[in-house]
């Protein structure tokens, strides 16, 4: 998916401006944390949740970063609308109506969120287990990822095979990288596989912006009829689940794993 390059370049410079405004505070925090934690992801992120009326987003002040909030909100709306179009294409590819996921109620109040990411260039990546972002797949329907062109992102096409083979993802100026998420994998009974990916540290500072399209919280995610047959029955490991229950469980597991790593390495 290709957008006007200039527009995306300008947007990334606004993302950097926030990161720089936080630099002093972050540097002292990061050096304290990396003294005690050996094995961790070194990414730093600013999250923007849904823009619905009662959202709990916290923004830098207008005085510190003029028009920053409005830039992020405009980006959020535009990328959400691009994401919805992509989801219509997924529906068509599955021989469903293009508004299938809308009719299902998956997209009337999507729990989409934006993650502005910074990977520091000065983290010692020689130790085993230190990544920009360790291997994972995204949880939702799909993710639109914008990067600043600095390498580091890798994908593993055959995620269940061992040993895993990782390929660099080349960056294309003005284009988004689109990753399928785990809920889409459940819906499609693995016809659309979620993308296992990670970010390696290269010694060069890197910025990226991930936009996660997650379905409405009450939506039930279950194998679509058009994606199963006698020869391809619904996978037993994918029973129907409410979208927000699924997300909560994944966030809980991620937090537990991260706490485990910290305990082991302190
Ligand atoms: O920074 C990137 O290129 C990937 C980000 C990512 O994988 C994530 O936020 O889940």
**pLDDT tens readout for residues 187-221:** 999 999 999 999 999 999 999 999 999 999 999 99
Averaged pLDDT score across all residues of the chain? 88
Ligand 1 residue neighbourhood (C-beta within 6 Å): 115, 117, 133, 138, 145, 147, 153, 197, 199, 208, 210
Q: What is the pTM of this model?
A: 0.88
How many Å lie between the centroid of ligand 1 and the Cα of residue 34?
20
Residue-level pLDDT at 54: 75
What is the span of the domain harbouring residue 229?
A: 5-265
* Residue 117 pLDDT greater than 60, yes or no: yes
Name the residue of 117, 180, 200, 204 whose CB sits within 8 Å of the most ligand 1 atoms, as the mutation to test its pocket: 117
236, 222 contact by CB (below 8 A): no
Spatial CB neighbours of 221, under 8 Å, sequence gap ≥ 6: 183, 186, 187, 215, 240, 241, 242, 243, 246
How many Å lie between the centroid of ligand 1 and the Cα of residue 102?
26
Closest ligand 1 atom to 153 CA: 3
CB neighbours of residue 262 within 10 Å: 15
Handedness of CA 156, 125, 23, 58 (dihedral sign): positive
- Which CATH number is 63's domain given? 2.60.120.330
How many Å lie between the centroid of ligand 1 and the Cα of residue 197?
8
Q: 189 is written with which tokens?
A: 């009974």
Percentage of the chain modeled with pLDDT above 90: 65
143, 178 contact by CB (below 8 A): yes
Residue-level pLDDT at 203: 92
How many Å lie between the centroid of ligand 1 and the Cα of residue 203?
17
User: How confident is residue 266, by pLDDT bands cut at 50, 70 and 90?
Assistant: very low
Query: What is the distance between the terminal CA atoms of the chain, rounded to a whole angstrom?
Result: 43
Name the residue of 42, 119, 143 whose CB sits within 8 Å of the most ligand 1 atoms, as the mutation to test its pocket: 143
Closest ligand 1 atom to 169 CA: 3
3-state secondary structure the chain: CECCHHHHHHHHHHHHHHHHHCHHHHHHHHHHHHHHCCCCECCEEEEECCCCCCCCCCCCCCCCCCCHHHHHHHHHHHHHHHHHHHHHHHHHHCCCCCCHHHHCCCCCCCCCEEEEEEECCCCCCCCCCCECEEEECCCCCEEEEEECCCCCEEEECCCCCCCCCCEECCCCCCECEEEECHHHHHHCCCCCCCCEEEECCCCCCEEEEEEEECCCCCCEECCCHHHCCCCCCCCCCCCCEEHHHHHHHHHHHHHHHHHHHHHHHC
Q: How many domains is the chain partitioned into structurally?
A: 1
* Residue 170 pLDDT greater than 50, yes or no: yes
Closest ligand 1 atom to 147 CA: 3
Of 10-24, 159-173, 192-206, 220-234, the one with minimum mean pLDDT is: 10-24
> For atom 5 of ligand 1, which residue has the closest CA?
210
């Amino acid at each position: 998916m290709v957008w006007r390059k200039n527009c995306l370049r300008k947007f990334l410079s606004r993302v950097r401006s926030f990161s720089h405004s936080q630099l002093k505070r972050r540097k002292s925090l990061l050096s304290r944390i990396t003294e005690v934690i050996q094995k961790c992801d070194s990414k730093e992120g600013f999250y923007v949740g849904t823009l619905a009326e009662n959202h709990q987003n916290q923004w830098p002040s207008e005085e510190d970063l003029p028009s920053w909030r409005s830039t992020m909100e405009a980006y959020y709306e535009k990328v959400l609308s691009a994401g919805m179009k992509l989801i219509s294409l997924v529906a068509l590819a599955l021989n469903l109506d293009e508004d299938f996921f809308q009719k299902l109620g998956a997209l009337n109040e999507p729990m989409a969120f934006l993650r502005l990411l910074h990977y520091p260039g000065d983290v010692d990546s020689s130790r085993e287990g230190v990544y920009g972002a360790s291997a994972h797949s995204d949880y939702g329907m799909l993710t639109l990822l914008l990067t600043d062109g600095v390498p580091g992102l890798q994908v593993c096409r055959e995620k269940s095979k061992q040993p895993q083979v990782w390929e660099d993802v080349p960056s294309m100026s003005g284009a988004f990288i689109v990753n399928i998420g785990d809920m889409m994998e459940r819906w499609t009974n693995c016809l659309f596989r979620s993308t296992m990916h990670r970010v390696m540290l290269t010694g060069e500072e890197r910025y990226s912006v991930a936009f996660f399209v997650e379905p409405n919280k009450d939506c039930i995610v279950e194998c679509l009829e058009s994606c199963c047959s006698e020869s391809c029955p619904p996978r037993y490991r994918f029973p129907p689940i409410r979208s927000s229950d699924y997300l909560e469980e994944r966030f809980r597991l991620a937090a537990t794993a991260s706490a485990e790593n910290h305990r082991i390495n302190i």
